[in-house]
């Protein structure tokens, strides 16, 4: 029912693409990260809570929305969105055609700060695999936030700003939401995060107050601050305003100690908007799917594990972007809008 095409996943019976990376007639979007929502398509359909964020990302797009759980007919199919727990408005796409049900997960997470992941029963499940290795296990976010607060306190005492590098869409807002009512100092944002953070606030997400860093803000003015910035700001002139900063990275990748050392972060905070290994397996099991197609990240490892332990039919789907798996190469921030 849904198959890979040069532009992305295509549903022939419905005449639409899901998360296409080239312009198409009709794009159904799981969420607004740039590897899932690319510009140039004639129309976009997304889950209603993600509308503001998607419009920030694609200002000229024709965007239609559908509340979670509502069903619409597209071509010969019936399509609905279900919470994926990844970022604001993130959705799994359920497609039904002549009694057959497929679900495309997009990116997902089981215990999030946005609307929680919903299990959707289906025959074929297309899952992400960004962190599909047993080493990736997440601790509860509250404990990770304790670590951030403690590190920030020590830096403040030493007069050093605390920089947390993180994705501009999803992670930054998640940290701000976790810090709500817990932050005990000023929080500042890199400019690339400001508009998307506004979109979250306008969508009703409660977060700690945070001020955008302006051109003249530097040195002492930021010495007590927790600063959120995209990884791409590291090593640029922008960082000169923070000469003696302690730098950290908030990512599921920080589970691997060697990665933190190798990339010379003072601290690593294991905080992810993706399911961990156990989360992937339990979510997949709960769908009851007979066939699982795997995309993004460690797809071969997950497909092999499912075959060997569940005896179910599996396959892998390559995408043009390996998505937040870009995070795995550690080089850039796919969540950052083009300058």
Verify binding: residue 109, Zn ion, rule CB under 5 A: no
Q: Does 336 bind Zn ion (CB under 5 A)?
A: no
For 131-166, letters b (16+ CB in 10 Å) and e give bbbeebebeebeebbebbbebbeebbeeebbbbbbb
Q: In the complex, what is the shortest distance from the CB of residue 323 to Zn ion, in angstroms, rounded to a whole number?
A: 3
**Residues touching Zn ion: how many (CB under 5 A)?**
4
Nearest approach in angstroms of CB 68 to Zn ion is: 17
Nearer to Zn ion, 33 or 190 (CB): 33
Q: Report the nearest approach of Zn ion to the CB of residue 53 (Å).
A: 11
CB of 86 to Zn ion, least distance (A): 6
Binding range to Zn ion, per CB under 5 A, among 38-46, 56-64, 102-110, 142-150: 102-110
Q: With 0-12 CB in 10 A as exposed, 13-18 as middle and 19+ as buried, what is 241?
A: middle
Which DSSP symbol is given to 233? G
In degrees and rounded to multiples of 5, residue 291 shows phi and psi of -135, 135
- Of 238 and 321, nearer to Zn ion (C-beta) is 321
Which span (41-49, 284-292, 311-319, 323-331) binds Zn ion, by CB under 5 A?
323-331
Task: Give the 3-state secondary structure of residue 28.
Answer: strand
Give the residue from 138, 143, 142 showing the smallest Cα distance to 275. 138
Q: Could you count the other beta carbons within 10 Å of the beta carbon of residue 299?
A: 24
d(CA 189, CA 142): 21
One of 252, 297, 323, 326 touching Zn ion (CB under 5 A): 323
C-beta separation of 243 from 219 below 8 A: yes
Q: Which stretch binds Zn ion (CB under 5 A): 26-34, 72-80, 183-191, 259-267?
A: 26-34
Quote the least distance from Cβ 228 to Zn ion, whole Å: 18
Alpha-carbon gap, residue 152 to 146, rounded angstroms: 10
Give 69-106 as a DSSP string. Answer: T-EEEETTEEEEEEE-SSSTT-EEEEEEETTEEEEE--
Question: What distance in Å separates the CA atoms of residue 328 and residue 251, rounded to the nearest whole number?
Answer: 10
Please choose, out of 1-9, 236-244, 308-316, 322-330, the segment that lies near Zn ion by the rule CB under 5 A. 322-330
Q: Counting contacts by CB under 5 A, is residue 33 touching Zn ion?
A: yes
Stretch that binds Zn ion, among 106-114, 133-141, 190-198, 227-235 (CB under 5 A): 106-114
d(CA 202, CA 198): 6
CB-based closest residue to Zn ion: 323
Least distance (Å) between residue 217 CB and Zn ion: 30
Residue from the set 96, 107, 322, 336 that interacts with Zn ion by CB under 5 A:
107
Closer CB to Zn ion, 248 or 295, in the complex = 295
Closer CB to Zn ion, 50 or 268, in the complex: 50
Cβ closer to Zn ion: 152 or 200?
200
- Binding segment toward Zn ion, per CB under 5 A, in 8-16, 103-111, 215-223, 225-233: 103-111
Q: Which of residues 219-248 bind Zn ion (CB under 5 A)?
A: none
Calpha distance 62→59 (Å, rounded): 9
Helix or strand holding residue 124 (H, E): strand 124-128
Q: Which is nearer to Zn ion, 158 or 320 (CB)?
A: 320
Least distance (Å) between residue 85 CB and Zn ion: 11
Q: Is-contact 207 173, C-beta < 8 A?
A: yes
The residues of the shown chain that bind Zn ion, judged by CB under 5 A, are 33, 107, 323-324
């Amino acid at each position: 029912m849904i198959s890979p095409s040069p532009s992305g996943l295509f549903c022939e019976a419905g005449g639409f693409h899901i998360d296409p990376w080239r312009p198409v007639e009709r794009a159904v979007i799981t969420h607004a990260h740039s590897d899932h929502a690319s510009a140039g398509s004639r129309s976009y359909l997304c889950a209603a809570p993600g509308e503001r964020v998607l419009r920030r990302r694609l200002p000229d797009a024709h965007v239609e929305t559908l509340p979670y759980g509502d069903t619409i007919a597209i071509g010969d199919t019936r399509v609905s969105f279900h919470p994926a727990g990844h970022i604001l408005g993130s959705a799994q796409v359920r497609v039904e055609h002549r009694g057959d049900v497929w679900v495309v997960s997009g990116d997902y997470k089981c215990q999030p700060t946005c609307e929680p992941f919903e299990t959707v029963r289906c025959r074929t499940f297309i899952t992400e695999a960004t962190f599909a290795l047993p080493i990736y296990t997440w601790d509860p976010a509250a404990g990770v936030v304790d670590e951030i607060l403690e590190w920030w306190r020590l830096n403040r005492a030493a007069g050093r700003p605390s920089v947390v590098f993180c994705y501009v869409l999803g992670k930054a807002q998640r940290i701000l939401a976790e810090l709500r009512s817990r932050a005990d100092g000023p929080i500042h944002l890199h400019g690339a995060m400001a508009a998307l953070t506004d979109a979250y606030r306008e969508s009703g997400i409660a977060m700690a107050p945070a001020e955008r860093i302006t051109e003249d803000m530097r040195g002492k003015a930021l010495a007590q601050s927790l600063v959120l910035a995209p990884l791409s700001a590291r090593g640029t002139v922008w960082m000169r305003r923070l000469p003696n900063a302690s730098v950290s990275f908030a990512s599921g990748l920080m589970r691997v100690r060697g990665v933190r050392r190798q990339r010379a972060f003072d601290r690593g905070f294991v905080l992810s908007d993706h399911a961990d290994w156990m989360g992937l397996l339990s979510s997949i099991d709960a769908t009851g799917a007979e066939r699982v197609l795997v995309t993004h990240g460690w797809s071969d490892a997950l497909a092999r594990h499912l075959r060997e332990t569940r005896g179910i039919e599996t396959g892998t789907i390559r995408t043009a972007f390996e998505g937040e798996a870009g995070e795995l190469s550690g080089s850039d921030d796919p969540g950052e809008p083009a300058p």
